[in-house]
Amino acid sequence: MAIALPGQRAARRGGLRRLARRKSTVAFLLALPLILLIASLVVYPALFSLHLATLNKSMEHFVGLGNFEFLFKRELFWMVVKQSCIFAITAVIFKAFTGFVLAHFVHNIPTKKQRKWRGMLLIPWVIPPAMSTLAWFWLFDPSYSAFNWILRAVHIGDVNWLGEPNWARASVILVNVWYGAPFFLIMYLAALKSVPEQLYEAAAIDGANWWQKIWYVTLPMMRNIISITVLFSLIVTFANFDIVRILTAGGPIDQTHIFATWAFKLGIEGNDIPLGASVSLFMFPILGVAAWFILRDISQRGNEA
Amino acid sequence: MPKQSSGRRKFLQTAGAASVGLAFPYIRTSYAAGSLSVAFWDHWVPGANSALTEVCQQWAKRERVDIKIDYINTQGNKLQLAGTTEAQAKAGHDVLAFVAWDPLEKASSLEPLDDVVASLEKQYGKIVPAMEYLGKKNGHWIALPSPTGTQVKPPCARLSVWKQAAGIDFQAMYPAGQKPTAEADNWTWDALLKAAPKVQQAGHPIGLGLGQTTDSIDWVGALFHSFGADLVDAKGNILVKSNPAVTQVLEYMQQLVKHMPPDVFAWDDASNNKYLISGQGSMIMNPPSAWSVAKRDNPKVAEDCWTFSMPKGPKGRFIPYLPIILGLWKFSKNKSAAKSLLHELWQRDNVEKYDIASNGYDIPSFQSMRDFKIWSEVSPPKGTVYHYPPRDDQTTWVSGAPAPANVANQMYVQSIMTKMIAKCTQGGETIPKTLDWAASEIEGYART
Amino acid sequence: MSAAAVAARPAKRSRSISKDRKKAMYWSYFFLILFVVFFLTPPFYMLVMSLKTSGEIAEAKFPWWVFHPTLENYRSLLTSENFQNFFINSALVSAATVVVTMLISVPAAFSLSRMKFWGSATLATGVFLTYLIPETLLFIPLFKIFSWVTEVTGIELINHWWVLILIYPTLTVPFCTWIMIGYFASIPKELDEAALIDGAGWLQVLLRIFIPVALPGIIAATIFAFTVSWADFLYPIVFTTSADQLVLPAGIVTTLIKGDVFEWGRIMTAALLGALPPLLIYAFLMDYYIAGLTAGATKG
Residues A138 and A14 reside in one and the same domain: no
Residues C82 and C229 reside in one and the same domain: yes
pLDDT in tens, C129-159: 787 788 888 888 888 888 888 878 877 777 7
The continuous run of DSSP H or E covering C180 comes out as helix C169-185
Average pLDDT over residues A127-143: 87
Q: Which of B41, B274, B276, B285 to mutate to test the interface with C (most CBs of C within 10 A)?
A: B274
Range of the domain at A6: 1-52
Q: In which band, very low, low, confident or very high, does the pLDDT at A8 lie, cut at 50, 70 and 90?
A: low
Please report the pLDDT score of residue B198 as a whole number.
92
Given a contact as 3+ CB pairs under 8 Å, which chains touch C?
Answer: A, B
Find the range with the poorest average confidence among B76-80, B313-317, B414-418, C228-232: B76-80
Complete DSSP assignment for B292-348: HHHHHH-HHHHTTEEE-PPPBBTTB-EEEEE-EEEEEBTT-S-HHHHHHHHHHHT-H
Residues C169 and C38 reside in one and the same domain: no
Residues A35 and A140 reside in one and the same domain: no
Angstrom distance (rounded) from CA B212 to CA C157: 31
Q: How many CB atoms lie within 10 A of CB A258?
A: 27
Assess if residue A243 is contained within a domain: yes
Assess if residue A61 is contained within a domain: no
Residues C87 and C149 reside in one and the same domain: yes
Please report the pLDDT score of residue B55 as a whole number.
92
Range of the domain at C125: 75-299
Q: Using an 8 Å CB-CB cutoff, list chain B residues near C270.
A: none
pLDDT in tens, A162-213: 888 889 999 999 999 999 999 898 888 888 887 888 888 888 888 877 788 7
Residues C44 and C120 reside in one and the same domain: no
Residues C98 and C45 reside in one and the same domain: no
Please report the pLDDT score of residue A21 as a whole number.
59
Angstrom distance (rounded) from CA C279 to CA C37: 18
Cβ partners under 8 Å of residue A165, min gap 6: A252, A253, A255, A256, B426, B427
Domains of chain A: total: 2
Assess if residue A59 is contained within a domain: no
Distance from CA of C222 to the nearest CA of A (A): 14
Angstrom distance (rounded) from CA B149 to CA B361: 7
Assess if residue A124 is contained within a domain: yes
Please report the pLDDT score of residue C168 as a whole number.
92
Using the 8-state DSSP alphabet, how is residue A62 labeled?
B
Residues C202 and C271 reside in one and the same domain: yes
CATH code of C209's domain: 1.10.3720.10
Q: In which band, very low, low, confident or very high, does the pLDDT at A296 lie, cut at 50, 70 and 90?
A: confident
Assess if residue A295 is contained within a domain: yes
Number of CB pairs < 8 Å for B and C?
124
Residues A46 and A125 reside in one and the same domain: no
Residues A158 and A261 reside in one and the same domain: yes
pLDDT at B147 over 50: yes
Assess if residue C159 is contained within a domain: yes
Assess if residue C256 is contained within a domain: yes
Assess if residue C116 is contained within a domain: yes
pLDDT at B8 over 60: no
Burial label, C24 (beta-carbon count in 10 A; 0-12, 13-18, 19+): middle
B441 and A58: CB-CB below 8 Å?
A: no
Please report the pLDDT score of residue A87 as a whole number.
92
pLDDT at B20 over 60: no
| Residue B204 · residue B159 · CB < 8 Å | no
Residues C41 and C151 reside in one and the same domain: no
Please report the pLDDT score of residue B114 as a whole number.
92
Find the range with the poorest average confidence among A250-254, B207-211, B235-239: A250-254
Please report the pLDDT score of residue B421 as a whole number.
93
Residues A19 and A160 reside in one and the same domain: no
Assess if residue A60 is contained within a domain: no
pLDDT at C43 over 50: yes
Q: In this predicted model, which residue has the larger pLDDT, B270 or A100?
A: A100
Given a contact as 3+ CB pairs under 8 Å, which chains touch B?
Answer: A, C
Residues A241 and A154 reside in one and the same domain: yes
| Residue C230 · residue A128 · CB < 8 Å | yes
Residues C156 and C204 reside in one and the same domain: yes
A269 and B263: CB-CB below 8 Å?
A: no
* Percent of chain B whose predicted confidence (pLDDT) is above 90: 33
Assess if residue A11 is contained within a domain: yes
Please report the pLDDT score of residue C295 as a whole number.
65
Using the 8-state DSSP alphabet, how is residue A74 labeled?
-
- Residues of A near B (Cβ–Cβ under 8 Å) read 56-58, 70, 73-76, 141-144, 160, 162-165, 168, 245, 248-254, 265, 268-273, 275
Q: In which band, very low, low, confident or very high, does the pLDDT at A227 lie, cut at 50, 70 and 90?
A: confident
pLDDT in tens, A47-96: 888 888 888 877 778 888 888 888 888 888 999 999 999 999 999 999 99
pLDDT at A31 over 90: no
Residues A77 and A39 reside in one and the same domain: no
Residues A114 and A47 reside in one and the same domain: no
Residues A280 and A146 reside in one and the same domain: yes
Domains of chain C: total: 2
pLDDT at B10 over 80: no
Q: In which band, very low, low, confident or very high, does the pLDDT at B280 lie, cut at 50, 70 and 90?
A: confident
Average pLDDT value for chain B: 84
Assess if residue A7 is contained within a domain: yes
Residues C34 and C99 reside in one and the same domain: no
Domains and CATH numbers, chain B: 15-150+323-372 (3.40.190.10), 151-321+378-445 (3.40.190.10)
In C, minimum Cα distance to A184 occurs at C294
| SS3 of residue B141 by DSSP | strand
* Percent of chain B whose predicted confidence (pLDDT) is above 70: 92
Residues A251 and A106 reside in one and the same domain: yes
Q: In this predicted model, which residue has the larger pLDDT, B258 or B7?
A: B258
Residues C253 and C153 reside in one and the same domain: yes
In A, minimum Cα distance to C277 occurs at A127
The last residue of a domain, from among A11, A27, A52: A52
Please report the pLDDT score of residue C300 as a whole number.
41
CATH code of A272's domain: 1.10.3720.10
Residues A2 and A84 reside in one and the same domain: no
Nearest to C271 by CA among A300, A138, A6: A138
Please report the pLDDT score of residue C230 as a whole number.
93
Q: In this predicted model, which residue has the larger pLDDT, A157 or C5?
A: A157
pLDDT in tens, B64-122: 888 989 888 777 677 888 888 888 777 788 999 998 888 888 888 999 999 999 999 99
Please report the pLDDT score of residue C177 as a whole number.
87
Residues A115 and A172 reside in one and the same domain: yes
- Highest mean predicted confidence (pLDDT) among A185-199, B314-328, B378-392, C106-120: B314-328
Complete DSSP assignment for C75-93: HHHHT-HHHHHHHHHHHHH
Please report the pLDDT score of residue C224 as a whole number.
86
